[in-house]
């Protein structure tokens, strides 16, 4: 790339180099998408704006990190390999990156444009063997969304995205500050590449976490935290989990014990403790929505006891980061040190750090030889004394935990995907072509209406309190809709529209 610089009134042509690694240093990047496949970490959403030697935000990079070595120093910039992505591929941030069953292809969905917004042509795929990008050849494309929560469920060959919004940073059809909030959940069949819309019986959400756990016939999804923009811009103050039973297509709102720091723009990681047959959802970093203060706090929700516990905090607060899990080691990738754009967002040495969920320490050394995750002794005693909550949201939810799938692989969730060591005997659960009761590609036409077509202009209505919808809510797959038809409202939860001027605008800094 060539740029002009003024030199005593005379334009001078200067060449900007395309970088091959981060040996020259690093400052920050956030809103990154991550997948770990065959002991290689793939990261998209990196631009050259804050890379020494580049400083051009229009340069779009795929970053890889080889995890096959027994020891890897994350503070060494030469370990972060960079390859330019063709300009035809959307240069976006805050997207999802999901591997297929064979670990040969990565699906890239969603995100906001890091540079000028362009036409939404649909999701893209990356073929690992050929190092090539392709617009995904699907009949009907899902609307591009941003700030949703997502996860993968490799056990059943599926990936999920819930919530988020459409704005002028995602599509050229919106030219003002209007945000159109999604009111559903997308399911991707990672074998066929088909997208399906599922219902989500709660108000629009953004910036929370979504985790997959192998309970019940096909597993469950757990949504935690984030922001509820239709409820006066509020953050869920209790971090109350919302549970989705994939096989039954039902949602539950389950109360918890213990306390957790309310937060947004954090990341999550799932850890499995074999001795207690429990799973822990770690929530790492983030910020308080009201004060905009970043946090070092780390909490974890133990399931099926549904109790919150505290872990040792980070040494440095980080928000807008992405998590990727490798055994008990959690990569924290990208992010900001403060809720700001530009210089005030802070700089840090390299894109990734390691949080060891086994001993609660953070550092820069990845060690493949570490033993499996084990619960802290105090937590183990607590959940052994009371392994289940005193009150279940529904008897059907309780019954899920009597039919647990034997899967011990710790996996990556929320704003990250893909544990490279993940294997399962349930690989055919969705891959046969039946997903959530939907047969055939025609039903994904409903994705065109995943985002409500009317602008957010009405005053927020009063939403139901938690105890009013602890019961199970059936979440049917939405069938085809005609061109003028809106998706039906659910009776189980009052919908609240939001005026465009009432919502705090999330950061839209370009390439910083």
Spatial contact of 125 and 216, defined as CB atoms under 8 Å apart? no
The backbone torsions φ and ψ at residue 440, rounded to the nearest 5 degrees and listed phi first, read: 100, 150
Q: Which residues, including other chains, have CB under 8 Å from residue 164's CB and lie 6 or more apart? A: 110, 145, 146, 147, 148, 149, 181, 182, 206
Tens of pLDDT along the chain (512 residues)?
A: 333 333 344 333 344 578 999 999 999 999 999 999 999 999 999 988 888 888 888 889 999 999 999 999 999 999 999 999 998 999 999 999 999 999 999 999 999 987 666 777 889 999 999 999 999 988 878 999 999 999 999 999 999 999 999 999 999 899 999 999 998 899 999 999 999 999 887 778 899 999 999 999 999 999 999 887 655 456 666 688 999 999 999 999 999 999 999 999 999 999 999 999 999 999 999 999 989 999 999 999 999 999 999 999 999 999 999 999 999 999 999 999 999 988 899 999 999 999 999 999 999 999 999 999 999 999 999 999 999 999 999 999 999 997 555 454 454 444 433 343 333 434 445 644 333 434 333 344 344 444 443 334 333 333 333 322 333 444 433 322 222 222 222 222 322 222 223 332 233 333 34
Of the candidates 351, 340, 296, 251, the one whose C-alpha atom is nearest the C-alpha of residue 26 is: 351
Q: Tell me if 136 is assigned to some domain.
A: yes
Residue 427 within a domain: yes
- Alpha-carbon distance of 443 to 434, in angstroms, equals 11
Looking at residue 237, its pLDDT comes to: 66
Does residue 272 contact residue 406 with C-beta atoms inside 8 Å?
no
- In this predicted structure, what is the pLDDT of residue 466? 32
Determine, yes or no, domain membership for 8: no
How far is residue 240 CA from its own chain's centroid?
Answer: 18
Query: Cβ neighbours of residue 271 under 8 Å, at least 6 residues apart?
Result: 279, 280, 282, 300, 325, 328, 357, 373, 410
Measured CA to CA, the distance from residue 292 to residue 277 in angstroms comes to 37
Q: What pLDDT, on a 0 to 100 scale, did the predictor assign at position 306?
A: 97
Distance CA 167, CA 170 (A): 5
d(CA 120, CA 65): 29
With respect to residue 253, please indicate whether it lies within any of the assigned structural domains: yes
Sheet bearing 40-48, strands edge to edge: 33-37, 40-48, 56-66, 80-84
Nearest C-alpha neighbor of 93 from the set 126, 47, 55: 47
Angle at 333 between CA 329 and CA 336, to 5 degrees: 130
**Sequence-distant (≥ 6) Cβ neighbours of residue 321 within 8 angstroms:** 30, 266, 267, 284, 285, 332, 333, 334, 335, 415
Nearest to 509 by CA among 311, 346, 306: 346
Q: Report helix, strand or coil for 197.
A: strand
Q: Is residue 1 part of a domain?
A: no
The CATH number assigned to the domain holding 62 equals 2.120.10.80
Domain span at residue 438? 20-502
Q: Which residue has the tokens 């060494």?
A: 76
Token duo for residue 351: 């894109």
10 part of a folded domain: no
As for how many domains the chain has, the answer is: 1
Helix (H, G, I), strand (E, B) or coil at 189: strand
Q: State the burial class of residue 448 (Cβ atoms within 10 Å of its Cβ: 0-12, 13-18, 19+).
A: middle
- Whole-angstrom distance, CA of residue 480 vs CA of residue 212: 27
Let me know if 268 is exposed, middle or buried by CB neighbors in 10 A (0-12, 13-18, 19+). Answer: buried
Alpha carbons 208 and 264: distance in angstroms, whole number: 6
| β-bridge mates for residue 60, sequence order | 47
In a domain, 343, yes or no: yes
Burial class (CB in 10 A: 0-12, 13-18, 19+), 150: buried
Tokens of 428: 């055919």
Q: What is the pLDDT of residue 94?
A: 96
**Residue 101, in any domain of the structure:** yes
């Amino acid at each position: 790339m060539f740029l002009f610089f003024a030199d005593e009134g005379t334009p001078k042509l200067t060449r900007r180099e395309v970088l091959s690694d981060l040996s020259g240093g690093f400052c920050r990047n956030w809103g990154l998408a991550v997948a770990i496949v065959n002991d290689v970490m793939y990261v998209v959403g990196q631009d050259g704006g804050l890379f020494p030697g580049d400083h051009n935000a229009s340069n779009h990079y795929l970053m890889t990190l080889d995890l096959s070595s027994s020891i890897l120093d994350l503070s060494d910039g030469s370990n972060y390999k960079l390859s330019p992505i063709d300009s035809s591929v959307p240069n976006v941030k805050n997207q999802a990156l999901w591997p297929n069953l064979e670990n040969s292809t990565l699906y890239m969905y969603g995100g906001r444009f890091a540079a000028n917004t362009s036409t939404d042509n649909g999701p893209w795929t990356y073929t690992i063997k050929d190092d090539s990008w392709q617009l995904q050849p699907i009949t009907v494309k899902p609307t591009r969304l941003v700030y949703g929560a997502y996860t993968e469920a490799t056990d059943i060959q599926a990936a999920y995205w819930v919530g988020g919004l459409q704005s002028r940073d995602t599509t050229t059809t919106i030219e003002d500050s209007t945000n159109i909030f999604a009111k559903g959940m997308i399911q991707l069949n990672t074998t066929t590449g088909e997208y399906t819309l599922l219902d989500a019986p709660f108000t629009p959400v953004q910036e929370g976490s979504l985790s997959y756990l192998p309970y019940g016939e096909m597993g469950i999804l757990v949504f935690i935290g984030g922001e509820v923009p239709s409820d006066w811009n509020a953050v869920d103050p209790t971090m109350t989990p919302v549970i989705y039973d994939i096989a039954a297509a039902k949602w539950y709102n389950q109360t918890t014990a213990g306390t957790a720091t309310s937060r947004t723009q954090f990341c999550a990681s799932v850890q499995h403790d074999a001795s207690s047959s429990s799973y822990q959802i770690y929530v790492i970093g983030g910020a308080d929505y009201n004060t905009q203060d970043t946090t070092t706090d780390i909490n974890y929700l133990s399931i099926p006891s549904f109790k919150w516990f505290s872990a040792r905090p980070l040494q440095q607060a980080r928000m807008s980061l992405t998590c990727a899990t490798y055994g008990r080691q959690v990569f924290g990738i990208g992010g900001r040190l403060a809720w700001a754009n530009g210089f005030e967002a802070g700089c840090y040495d390299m894109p990734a750090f390691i949080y060891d969920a086994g001993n609660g320490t953070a550092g820069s050394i990845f060690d493949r030889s570490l033993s499996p995750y084990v619960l802290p002794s105090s937590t183990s005693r607590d959940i052994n004394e009371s392994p289940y909550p005193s009150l279940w949201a529904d008897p059907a939810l309780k019954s899920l935990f009597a039919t647990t799938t034997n899967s011990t692989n710790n996996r990556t969730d929320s704003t990250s995907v893909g544990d490279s060591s993940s294997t399962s005997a349930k690989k055919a659960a969705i891959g046969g072509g039946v997903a959530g009761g939907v047969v055939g590609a025609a039903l994904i036409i409903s994705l065109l209406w995943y985002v409500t077509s009317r602008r957010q202009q009405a005053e927020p209505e009063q939403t139901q309190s938690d105890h009013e919808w602890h019961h199970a809510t059936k979440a049917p797959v939405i069938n085809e809709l005609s061109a003028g038809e809106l998706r039906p409202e659910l009776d189980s939860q009052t919908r609240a529209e939001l005026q465009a001027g009432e919502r705090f605008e999330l950061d839209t800094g370009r390439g910083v």
